[in-house]
């Protein structure tokens, strides 16, 4: 593996490259350290699906599972012990990146139990528990951007817990997320906390938008509809960045910045291309601008290293084009509000399903141990 010029150009353009994957095997073999050193990876995101996949492969978790079985812990406690062990280890591997970037990068994300996505108080309690359990300053606790998650985001930030807001699909909800973030920082400031140590990113999902809208365009079936396939995800994300620019130019944000706060960076999530007809680096090349994060599955990272064409800012010069795409989608009969509603419901459900699969996998392993 050699240093990738493509990934260097992406980093030089201001995009932080994070890996959307974690496993005990990746940690114990030194693979994560290699990716940091040779592929410009500066952060890690995880979710229940990723952990469910990691637990189902190899023997990396066997020793810990045997110990947990001997202790007779519950399945839920075992899952938390296993997942936080990996997150803590990854945070330590990334600590030099965290230190060299003054805490902006070098972050590792762990998700609250997705079964709590519609319960504000339980989400807050879970965020506190994870923050205490991992006990690393470069942790991000992932809280879903459900209506019920918004006050949990504010509360967690007000207590100094760094947050990765996940499952954002709609522009309206993204604005509500940014409002919750600002409110959290304002409360943290009132509480006397050091704002420079509280980090947040907002995970705006990309490929899932195309998957949902493309299916609806196929049903419409007109030439005009088919011409719009594969354009919604990027357009939606570009308009999210426009909304971000509005917020960080506001007096409300300027006051917090003067107090030492860092911006809540947009993070492009779901960047693995799901349609084989599209370029596999689509959501890398088309979402480049300074001050964003792109979290990639390793397959996408490798593709970007191999053949991504990075050519300057591909977001800010294309706002009008993005508005035009969204207007054309509406004219074609795409109900944007219904699309994002479906995506949020599906997103929560998918993570809940994966969490239940993780519980079942660990339960089976505990019984075998």
Active site residues: 142
Alpha helices (runs of H) in the chain, residue ranges in sequence order? 5-12, 24-28, 31-38, 48-55, 62-71, 75-93, 95-100, 120-134, 149-158, 171-190, 207-220, 223-227, 232-248, 251-258, 282-285, 298-307, 319-332, 336-368
DSSP string covering 222-262, please?
-HHHHHTTT-HHHHHHHHHHHHHHHHHTSHHHHHHHHTTPP
Token pair of 356, please? 């239940």
Q: Are 168 and 205 in contact (CB under 8 A)?
A: yes
Token pair of 336, please? 């944007």
The continuous run of DSSP H or E covering 163 comes out as strand 163-168
Gap between the Cα atoms of 125 and 131, Å rounded: 10
Q: Are 165 and 203 in contact (CB under 8 A)?
A: yes
Q: How many CB atoms lie within 10 A of CB 63?
A: 11
Roughly what angle, to the nearest 10 degrees, separates helices 207-220 and 232-248?
130
What distances in angstroms separate CA 220 from CA 90, 206, 214, one per listed residue? 46, 22, 10
The DSSP secondary-structure symbol of 263 reads: P
Classify residue 319 as exposed, middle or buried by CB count within 10 Å of its CB (0-12, 13-18, 19+): middle
Gap between the Cα atoms of 139 and 91, Å rounded: 7
What distances in angstroms separate CA 312 from CA 128, 151, 191, 315, 320, one per listed residue? 40, 37, 41, 9, 18
């Amino acid at each position: 593996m050699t240093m990738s010029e493509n990934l260097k150009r992406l980093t030089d353009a201001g995009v932080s490259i994070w890996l959307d994957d974690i496993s005990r095997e990746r940690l114990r073999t030194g693979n994560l350290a290699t990716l940091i050193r040779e592929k410009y990876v500066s952060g890690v995101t995880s979710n229940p699906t990723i952990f469910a996949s990691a637990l189902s492969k190899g023997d990396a978790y066997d020793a810990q599972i045997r110990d947990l079985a001997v202790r007779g812990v519950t399945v839920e406690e075992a899952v938390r012990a296993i997942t936080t062990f990996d997150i803590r280890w990854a945070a330590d591997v990334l600590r030099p990146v965290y230190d060299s970037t003054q805490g902006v990068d070098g972050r590792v994300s762990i998700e609250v139990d997705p079964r709590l996505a519609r319960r504000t108080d339980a989400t807050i309690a879970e965020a506190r528990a994870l923050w205490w359990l991992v006990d690393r300053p470069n942790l991000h606790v992932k809280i879903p951007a459900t209506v019920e998650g918004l006050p949990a985001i504010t509360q967690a930030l007000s207590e100094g817990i760094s947050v990765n807001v996940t499952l954002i699909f709609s522009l309206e909800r993204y604005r509500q997320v940014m409002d919750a973030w600002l409110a959290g920082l304002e409360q943290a400031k009132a509480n006397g906390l050091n704002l420079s140590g509280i980090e947040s990113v907002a995970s705006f999902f990309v490929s899932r938008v195309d998957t949902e809208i493309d299916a609806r365009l196929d049903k419409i079936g007109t030439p005009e509809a088919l011409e719009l396939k594969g354009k919604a995800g990027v357009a939606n994300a570009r308009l999210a960045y426009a909304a971000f620019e509005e917020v960080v130019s506001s007096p409300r944000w300027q006051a917090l910045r003067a107090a030492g706060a860092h911006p809540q960076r947009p993070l492009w999530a779901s960047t693995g291309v799901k349609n084989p007809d599209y370029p596999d680096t689509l959501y890398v090349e088309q979402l480049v601008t300074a001050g964003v994060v792109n979290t990639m599955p390793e397959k996408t990272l490798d593709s970007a290293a191999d053949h991504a064409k990075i050519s300057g800012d591909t977001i800010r010069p294309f706002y009008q084009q993005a508005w035009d795409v969204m207007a054309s989608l509406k004219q074609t009969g795409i109900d944007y509000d219904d699309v994002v509603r479906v995506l949020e419901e599906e997103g929560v459900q998918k993570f809940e399903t994966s969490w239940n699969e993780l519980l079942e996998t660990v339960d089976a392993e505990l019984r075998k141990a």
